[in-house]
Amino acid sequence: MFPVGHMVAQANEKQELTKALEEKIPTLLALEHGGKLNAVLKGSDAAFKQAEDRFLDQFEDYLGESMTKLYTPEQIMRRNKEVESQVSRNMADPDGQKRLDDMMRFMASAVGTALNP
């Protein structure tokens, strides 16, 4: 079950990070030029480059903060419980079990193909 749990955990982590970034990007843009992206785009190349550099620096800082928060022990434990719950629900659902079996066969086939070209 480890591969399934790992895939569910990865999907959950990606969803959480995506949500955090989707919420923060408009805020970062609002800090520059009052959130008016057109003002940045219509400016000179130098002004655009300066705004781009500031935005990317702020984005990098926020991404680092988000990743740190995502991997606190409390968040890891919370996600582990969610993964266990999701995997249990899938195992109890006949359709979910069939999809899981199909996916596992596909993965085994894909790995076999990659190892034996």
User: What's residue 1's pLDDT?
Assistant: 46
Distance CA 69, CA 19 (A): 13
What is the residue type of 33?
Answer: H
- Alpha carbon of 26 to those of 19, 23, 102: distances in Å? 12, 7, 40
Read off the pTM: 0.59
3-class DSSP assignment, residue 93: coil
- Give pLDDT tens digits along the chain (117 positions): 457 777 778 888 888 888 988 888 878 777 766 666 676 667 678 877 887 788 888 889 988 998 898 889 998 899 889 888 888 887 777 787 777 777 777 767 766 665 665
14 half-sphere exposure, CB direction, 13 A CA radius = 6
